[in-house]
Amino acid sequence: MRIRRTLLWIPGNNPAMMANAPILRADTIGLDNEDAVQPGDKDAARILIRNYLESVRGKHPLELAVRINDVTTPYWKDDITCIAPAQPDAFIVPKVERPEDLYLVHELLTQVEKEHGLPENEIKLLPILETALGIENAFLIASTTTGRLDGIMMGGEDLVTSLGALRTREGREIDYARCRIVSAARACNLNPIDTVFPDVEDIEGMIADTKYSRQIGYSGRAVISPRHVTYANEVYSPSEKDILYAQEVLEAYEEGRRLGKGAVSLHGKMIDAPMIPRAQQVLEIAKMIRGGKL
């Protein structure tokens, strides 16, 4: 499963920002044809996104994702048919409320893949849950079996409107939704991706919120500013201590298996089964980070 500590939004109609995007240290770039582009320009933006993807394919190790418009708009179908042939790594589908929304996109995408002779099911889908209904249907959506689902994204800004809540710096009004998505994603063995921290200038607040995000179980978040990227990467990256511990967990587990022990302990604590894949993921992230990510 792909590691996404940061997903940086880049306006899909801005060639200058798109040209610099790969160097900004985010694990994933989200080329946006939804909120970042006016309705009158979405036709031009999707062509620009398509051409851009064709020009950078294979040149950079990061993930290139595209946010299409939601399935209630007249734009989403053209987004898929125009951009899919350029083979982005993933499509980000906003305002997903029911499994049907994802299946709709999956069907059209499969059709386009066939028409263009593209490998089947390689392009992933990342839904954003940002309405009350979407949050409530989180588990159903996470359980969809398109074979493309690679994570669940949390969208805090639109959600606040949907909930009739008031947006604050601390963000307690979206606590339930944030936690629910973690829970639904993990239950289906998917990585949850947290919402953006909306204040570009408030770096301290962003770091604190990202630490909280990590605490409640997110392995990454979307960011709206290049300035947030390195701070967020650091919070979601395992520390040297974490890496050492993960190595110890796996070693103890292996030793226990070799000696035929039923239960294994480390530093006086029992090693439960869920700790193993977590330890493996920590080492995976560490490997990916050390592989020339300075």
Partner 1 sequence: MTIKHAAVAGTLESCDVMITVEPSDTLEITVDSTVKDLFGKKILACVEENLKKQGVTAAKVQVQDKGAFDCTIAARLEAAVLRAQKEG
Partner 2 sequence: MKETKLCHSIEDAIRACGLRDGMTVDFNHHLRDGDYVIPMVMNAIGKLGIKDIKVFSAGIFNGMMNRGLTDLIHQGVITSTEVTGNSSILGGMISRGELPKVCRFHTHGGRARTIVEEDLHIDVCFVAAPTADCMGNCNGVEGPNAFGSIGYSMSSSRYADKTVVITDNLVPYPLQRTSIDESVVDYVVQVDAIGDPNGIATGIAKPTKDPLALIIAEYASKTIEFSGLLKDGFSYQAGAGGPSIATTRYLSEIMKRKKVHGSFILGGVTGTSVDLLEEGLFDTIMDVQCFDRKAAASLRDDPRHREISDACYAMRGGPNGNRSCAVDSLDVVVLGALEIDLDFNCNLVVNSSGLITGGAGGHTDTAEGSKMSMIVAPLRRTRYPTVVKKCTSITTPGKDVDVLITEYGISVNPKNQELALRLKDAGLKVVSIEELQALAESMTGIPDEVRFGDRLVAEVIGRNGEVIDRVYNILE
Residue 50 near partner 1 by CB under 8 A: yes
One symbol per residue from 15 to 54: x for binding partner 2 (CB under 8 A), - otherwise; what is it?
-x--xx--xxx-----------------------------
Encoded one letter per residue, x for contact with partner 2 by CB under 8 A and - for no contact, window 92-111 reads --------------------
* Of residues 54 and 170, the one with the C-beta less far from partner 1: 54
Distance of alpha carbon 45 from alpha carbon 79, whole angstroms: 9
Could you say whether residue 54 binds partner 1 (CB under 8 A)? yes
Q: Would you count residue 136 as binding partner 1 (CB under 8 A)?
A: no
Between CA 240 and CA 176 the distance in angstroms is: 31
- C-beta closer to partner 2: residue 273 or 294: 294
CA distance 57 to 89: 10
Min dist CB 207 to partner 2, Å, is 16
Evaluate whether 275 touches 257 at the Cβ level (below 8 Å): no
Nearer to partner 1, 52 or 76 (CB): 52
At residue 180, φ and ψ (nearest 5 deg) are -60, -40
The only residue of 1, 23, 44, 187 in contact with partner 1, by rule CB under 8 A: 44
Give the pair of three-digit tokens for residue 135: 């949050």
Count of CA atoms in the C-beta half-sphere (13 A) of 227: 10
Report the C-alpha gap between 287 and 291 in whole angstroms. Answer: 6
Cα 133 to chain centroid distance, Å, stands at: 20
Contacts with 218 (C-beta within 8 Å, 6 or more apart), sequence order: 154, 178, 182, 192, 193, 194, 236
Least CB distance to partner 2 at residue 235 (A)? 18
Interacting span for partner 1 (CB under 8 A) from 8-16, 137-145, 213-221, 255-263: 8-16
Relative to beta strand 269-270, strand 265-266 is antiparallel
Residue 55 or 239 with smaller CB distance to partner 1: 55
Determine, following the binding rule CB under 8 A, whether residue 189 of this chain makes contact with partner 2: no
Determine if 171 is a binding residue for partner 2 (CB under 8 A): no
**CB-CB contact of 178 with 214 (8 Å):** no
Residues that bind partner 2 (CB under 8 A): 16, 19-20, 23-25, 59, 226-227, 229, 292, 294
Residues that bind partner 1 (CB under 8 A): 13-16, 19, 43-44, 47-48, 50-52, 54-55
